[in-house]
Amino acid sequence: MKRFELVGVYILNLLAMSFWGISFVWIKIVYEFYNPFTILFFRMVISACILFLISSTLMKEKKRLERRHIPMLMALAFCEPFMYFIGESLGLLYISSTVASLIVSTIPIFMVFASFIFFKERIDKRQTTGLALAIIGILALVFDTSMNLRYEPKGILLMFLAVISAIGFNILGTKLVKTYRPITLIKYQNVFGAIYFFPLFLIYSGKELFTRIPPSNIILCIFNLSLFSSALSYLFYLIAIEKIGINKANIFTYTIPLFTAIFAYFLIGEEFDITKSFGMIFIVSGIFISQYKGKFKRIRFLFRRGS
């Protein structure tokens, strides 16, 4: 690959990480007007339409779902986006964008231990050390110096619901990813996700949708979440995987919490103190150590969900 082309791939991958990083901030902004289920339903619908358009035009994707795979894909979509986004979006009501992003970034570490349980993959000292560092980082984020919780416990638990859901998604998806391209799975995930979220949307958001007119910045944030964080980010990330491999592409995921912290500071005035800095260092170091051994280990991590 020519250097110019390689630089372009790196830029696309970095853009994908920035889109995922800022998604936590866009969600916080939209919460000023809409509840989570309104955001999630429209995000699924819009992103599904965009992904169908991209896959049919740019990627010339013609493969259709086999009927026998539909139940598995429905289970996959139940884990993510449905349960994952319930955990993440409701959790963001109670904790900061940066802390939410850092907790979600630990998914690869916990996935290693899930692989040990479900796939009997060996765990070494390096991975155990990485998990220990990540846990220390999380504790530094959620407790103050007096060992009091900085955030409501339900917010933290909801974020870990998102982590567990993502692990379930990766475990269920190991078979389907061998049959379908990732973009095919993602677009159908969003379709089933929209179906799952529709009843909750009607129950919690049906009336407010027709009685309140959102300001332009709210509409823009929902569109940005759909286009950039749920569609283009996956497209750019998949291009990077195709061109430079999943191991090199995954190195960039360490920048997601950093992007979240920067965007949260400038866009919504979220404080970034020394405790958050230490927590981020421990968590990112833990992820790095758990996956590094001369070169980055390829774990059973299909593709990042996004936020």
β 295-296/292-293 pair status: antiparallel
Q: What is the pLDDT of residue 172?
A: 84
| pTM for the model | 0.86
Whether pLDDT at 69 is above 80: yes
Contact 275, 97 (CB under 8 A): no
Instruction: Report the C-alpha dihedral over residues 8, 12, 18, 24, rounded to 10 degrees.
Output: 180
Residue 262 lies in a domain: yes
Cα-flanking dihedrals φ and ψ of residue 269, to 5°?
Answer: 65, 30
Q: What is the pLDDT of residue 299?
A: 42
Mind listing the pLDDT tens digit for each residue in 81-109? 999 999 999 999 999 999 999 999 888 88
Residue 302 lies in a domain: no
The mean predicted confidence, pLDDT, of the chain is 86
Lowest-confidence region among 12-16, 80-84, 90-94, 241-245: 241-245
Residue 301 lies in a domain: no
Residue 47 lies in a domain: yes
Contact 186, 226 (CB under 8 A): no
232 C-beta neighbours (distance < 10 Å), count: 19
Mind listing the pLDDT tens digit for each residue in 208-241? 777 778 899 999 999 999 999 988 998 898 888 8
Residue 144 lies in a domain: yes
Residue 44 lies in a domain: yes
Segments forming the whole domain that contains residue 71: 3-296
Residue 307 lies in a domain: no
Residue 257 lies in a domain: yes
Q: What is the pLDDT of residue 247?
A: 66
- Report the half-sphere exposure of 269 (CA within 13 A, side-chain side): 0
Domain count for the chain, please give it. Answer: 1
